[in-house]
Amino acid sequence: MSDAKKHHVTIIYGDGIGPEVVTSTRTLIDAACPNIDWETAEAGAEVFKKGIASGVPQETIDSLNRTRVALKGPLETPVGFGEKSANVTLRKLFETFANIRPVREFPGVPTRFSGAGIDMVIVRENVEDLYAGIEHMQTPDVAQCLKLISSKGCEKIMRTAFEFARSEGRKSVACATKANIMKKTEGLVKSTFERVAKDYPDIESWHIIIDNCAHQLAKKPEQFDVIVTTNMNGDIISDLGSGLIGGLGFAPGANIGHDVAIFEAVHGSAPKYAGKDTINPTAMILSGVMMLRYLKEFEAADKIENALLYTLESGVHTRDVVTDTPPIGTKAFTEAILENFGKKAANWKTRERTAMKIPARPATTRINKADKRETIGMDVFVEFDGTAAELGPKLEAACKGTGFKLKMISNRGTVVYPLTGTSPDVVDQWRCRIYLEQPVTEPSMAQVNKLLESIEAQGLRWMHIEKLCKFDGVDSFTKAQGEN
């Protein structure tokens, strides 16, 4: 039994089925660990209706600043329009940079992979990548989303993956990236992983291309122990993982930061099932189990997990599990787990766990420093409704007398000028790679403005520029498809 120390925890019941699964989880936690002091807070749909665009009121932020731990139900998020996700807002505000999602085969839950021995954890970077949500309509026809990957973000997620592996006695960590295509962003993920792995010689490390990782997850998922990956990749393959073990009803999750941790099920709010007492609370219950382990309440966590697994193994289940025995409702399932406290599933190997070491917050903003840098040019993105054969001469004329020269033009990442003899389809957003005639540390604003004014004089609209730099003699940019 846990000691008398009180743990202060913010509880957010959420939207749709959230109140049902969170209530189920709280009931079990209160029975196993009575020293939790709950503080109720709001986020999501009801908050949006009050006109709070973030979906997270200040009172909830204040609560998490006090408690530093939250158990959160699913929140509704507008799709394709309107406000940003309240889920993502919470993760970003409190820098919960690591999303941890266990994927393990359950007794009494038949799937196509039953008996394979699936037992892995997906560790997903949680605040960067495309989920930074920095988007622009560059033209009425072309949208852009910036994929941001930092050395600091990579360092923290890699160390978290290895530390979590150690805390559960796991033997290997695989890093899944698309570094063969995105050599700067995903390449930074891969190189950081390989550097950090040297600090964990007791754990096997290996790299896998993300599409092959998805293929292998469907083909032989039992080969994986821990997978660490970027935000978008992790979002996709963690849902794939839940599909291997019975669905999102069995997919718990934890969002871990330096100072704050938020525990939530992977599934959404499923409003059409709200209030019907049919939903499977397992994912939320196991998220609560992860929270208890984070709080070092290992005995209480094991009590709930063992009782849940014994209940499933006994053939007691909700409607999403298809077996010969009839399903029961959410409340009855919760009561069955309570009755099975103290029992253990026969076909489940219990892991010996220790507290996970959270990577330290880096003391500086910058991790990598360049001893030498030079700017060799700029990519200027312009809007033009025409052909590459028409645009090229306009750019060449614009460069005259500015100290710049046109190197190439690409459209959707492929070289279209100088003319290649091919005819890729084009859109009205063009990347114009313009080199300085003489590389400098930094071009003057006067020189840059002269070029942009000259481009405008050709009747062209520019949207933004990207400097083309070399750091310690290495290009900081990639070439277009077909660029030499």
* In contact, 167 and 355? CB cutoff 8 Å: yes
d(CA 162, CA 205): 9
Q: Which of 13, 131, 310, 417 is catalytic?
A: 131
Q: Which of 141, 211, 385, 472 is catalytic?
A: 211
Residue with tokens 């359950």: 106
Cα–Cα distance list, 7 to 338, 365, 444, 445 (Å):
22, 32, 57, 56
d(CA 76, CA 55): 9
d(CA 177, CA 163): 20
Closest to 173 (Cα-Cα) out of 231, 229, 117: 229
Alpha helix locations (H) across 119-174?
Answer: 151-167
Helices 298-313, 330-339: crossing angle, 10 deg rounding: 110
Active site residue 479: no
* In contact, 94 and 262? CB cutoff 8 Å: yes
* In contact, 345 and 441? CB cutoff 8 Å: no
Q: Phi and psi (nearest 5°) for 174?
A: -105, 135
Measured at the CA of 364, the angle between CA 358 and CA 365, to 5 degrees, comes to: 100
Using the 8-state DSSP alphabet, how is residue 80 labeled? S
Cα–Cα distance list, 420 to 389, 394, 424, 434 (Å):
11, 18, 10, 18
Active site residue 235: yes
d(CA 23, CA 275): 12
Q: Which of 15, 119, 235, 302 is catalytic?
A: 235
In 114-267 the beta strands, taken as DSSP E runs, fall at 119-125, 135-137, 143-145, 172-177, 204-209, 226-229, 252-256, 261-265
Residue with tokens 């077909």: 482
Q: Which of 156, 178, 190, 303 is catalytic?
A: 178
* In contact, 35 and 2? CB cutoff 8 Å: yes
Give me 186's structure tokens.
């995903």
Helix (H) or strand (E) holding 66: helix 58-67
The catalytic residues are: 131, 178, 211, 235
